[in-house]
Structure 1
Amino acid sequence: MLIEQAPTGETRDTRLRRLAMRSMRRGIKEMDVILSRFAGERLAGLDAQMLDSYDALLRENDHDLYYWTSGVQDPPAHFAPVVGEIRAMLTAQGAAGSR
């Protein structure tokens, strides 16, 4: 699958803000929580390729995103790296919360 590039002329800062906003305004509350937390904690540390992948991921159906990020289903191969980052964040938070 071809992952679409960011709009021409968009600065990294503008892109990060746009992606953070799109992470918070989802169709289901669970994805609001998961993706807004991911955006707040890890978005700024992603390289350009991962940002492209995350940008494309946000265009997917929320129910699919929930199944992929929760591990119920494996994501498509082109989303596996970014979904892996989200899952790693969720796992780290779960481990921290169980202490």
Structure 2
Amino acid sequence: MSDELAIRRRRLLFRAEHRGFKEADLVIGGFARAHLPEMNATALAEFEALLEIPDQDLYAWIVGREMPPEEVDGPVFRALSSSAHAVTAK
């Protein structure tokens, strides 16, 4: 099981760092580098679902430009959004 999670984490990290535009790559990729190692299977599934969302929508929700839909606003999304706000506040 741990080998499967390690492979899954590597794939998710690659996807998070290669979103399609630089701002998303930095915010989502940075979050992934910092938090993927500690995520359990449930959190990985939530993060994976977030990566399925089109870049422009996800980024707008993360930085607070638009309100996320209720089904997206879970623990991983809130951590990602908080992380993005901490980075942009510096």
TM-score of the superposition, structure 1-length normalised?
0.78
Superposed CA deviations along residues 40-59 of structure 1, whole A, max 9, x for unmatched, are 11112222212101101111
Whole-Å separation in 2 of the counterparts to 1:56 and 1:91:
21
Query: What does 1:1-99 align with in structure 2 at a 5 Å threshold?
Result: 11-81=4-74, 82-94=76-88, 97=90
Give the deviation of 1:93 after TM superposition.
3.6
* 8 Å contact from structure 2 (residues 63, 85) kept in 1: no
Alignment RMSD: 1.6
Q: Which runs of 5+ in 1 are unaligned?
A: 1-9
Conserved in 2, the CA contact under 8 Å of 1:68 and 1:83? no
Which entry has the higher C-alpha Rg, 1 or 2? 1
**Contact 1:26–1:32 (8 Å) recurs in 2:** yes
